[in-house]
Structure 1
Amino acid sequence: MQMTALRQRLLTQLGHFPQRVPLTPTFGSMMDEGEYTRTLVTYVVEEGEHVSAWLLTPQAVTPPGGWPALLAIHQHAGQYDLGKSEPAGLGGNPMYAYGQEVCRRGYVVLCPDLLCFEERRSAKELPQVRKA
């Protein structure tokens, strides 16, 4: 099967993608963590759906060509109160603070909340999550 046909078949199986919207990022609180800066970022992923994320940026001199970047996804262990904060080193198991660690090694790191975790839970979901 040719790559183009395979790609089209995969896209068909995945189903409908949401319409693209402007990211409209907003930058909130900024904390100096010594070796890096931690900034709260919020952006839009689809109509009415916002994502909060920690952006970790090294404080060293920016290398020629800029910093390499990494998307740090949190675990799915049924701990819905944890999301972006765990890879950013702000909660949960320190073993999973890999976003913080790779930032110290010279990467810009984005640690987003995935759907249903930390700040991406709806108000009506919160009581159900607390019972689990």
Structure 2
Amino acid sequence: MTDLPTTLRERLGLADPVPVGFERGEVEEADGFARERIEYRGLEGDLIPAFLFTPRGCNPLGGVVVFHQHNGEFHFGKSEVAGLVGDALQAFGPALARRGLAVLAPDAITFEDRRAAVRGVEPDYYDWLQHYNAMSYRLLDGDVLMRKCLDDAQRALSVLLQATALDQRLVGVAGHSYGGYTALYHAAVDARCRFACISGAVCSFGTRRREGTGVTLFEAVPGLARLIDTHDVLSAIGPRPTMVVSGAQDKYSRDADQVVAKVAGDFITELRVDRGHALDQERFDAIVEWIVGRVSDRHKEKPST
């Protein structure tokens, strides 16, 4: 596909990125970093809460938006990236901030503080239904959830840039599982993402269909599989540096190595392990090191003043 970003944007009706007003909230000081609550409005006027992590004692070297996982836990969002709840190997906010990066971790729609019925990190029986409704109500209106999710993602990157005043060349996106799918599509359509780390989220439509794995609800776009496949989306990110992390025993990245092999160019760094979906220490550490390395590489490329 010659111009997937334009084609997908037009298919979704996705608007271009815009400046986003935001409000700063409470700041918590921690070992090596600060965590600040940030709030801003989405496309539909909805409130989007996020955590902004910044290194203590120095200006950020670069920045990354980290999209949280799904894991059937709608009561966990930004707080899992913060290491406050859930899996400690999802706590990319503190890990990256301690290495000198600014990190924005927003709640995805229908997660944590963006649930319709409750807020916070306690589960509610109808959490899953809110997520389903976010897709189905939009389909009733001739709209799709992907447009909303990608617009949210673009706004998150805008807020990161505005809140930190970082050089646009020094920011990217990352995520595991649901967050990985978000990072994959976001980086493909938004050239401001100067690098992308995609974990547990690269698998062809054919393999997912054949194995009954299913798709994320925001991929429920009529005709999407006739238009593109996963390798097309990956290709659209190039030549920007991209890391693809996968497990051979992970149904959500079953054929990630084959998908990557279809992509022309050498912009992809691939880490494949013979394990399952949940991150382990090896993959967590590798993701952190790769992201820090991309920012360091960008600094080397910048002309001296």
Question: CA distance change for structure 1 residues 31 and 19 in 2, over 3 Å: closer, same or farther?
Answer: same
RMSD: 2.6
> For residues 6-61 of structure 1, what are the alpha-carbon distances to aligned partners after superposition, in whole Å with 9 as ceiling and x for unaligned?
54333233x22369776220111111113111100001121321210000010122
Counterpart residue number, 1:48: 45
Structure 2-normalised TM-score?
0.37
1:79 counterpart residue number? 73
Give the aligned residue type for 1:56. Answer: F
Relative contact order higher in (CA < 8 Å, ≥ 6 apart) = 1
- Counterpart-to-counterpart distance in 2, 1:101 and 1:67: 14
1:76-100, Cα deviation, whole Å (9 max, x unpaired): 1110000000111111111111121
Q: 1:21–1:44: 8 Å Cα contact kept in structure 2?
A: no
Where structure 2 has 5 or more consecutive residues not aligned to the other structure, the ranges are: 119-123, 130-305
Q: How many residues align?
A: 125
2:115/2:127 contact within 8 Å kept: no
Structure with the higher fraction of residues in helix conformation: 2
What is the 5 A alignment of 1:97-112?
Answer: 97-112=91-106
Amino acid at match of 2:97: C
The match for 1:121 among 110, 115, 119 is: 115
Q: Which runs of 5+ in 1 are unaligned?
A: none
Q: TM-score, normalised by structure 1?
A: 0.81
Cα 1:104–1:20 change in 2 (3 A) is closer
Letter matched to residue 41 of structure 1: I
Percent identity between the aligned chains?
32
In the alignment, structure 1 residue 36 sits paired with structure 2 residue 56: no
Q: Which residue of 2 aligns with 1:61?
A: 58
Deviation at 1:130, TM superposition (A): 8.0
Deviations 1:84-125 (A, max 9, x none): 00111111111111121011111000010001110111128x
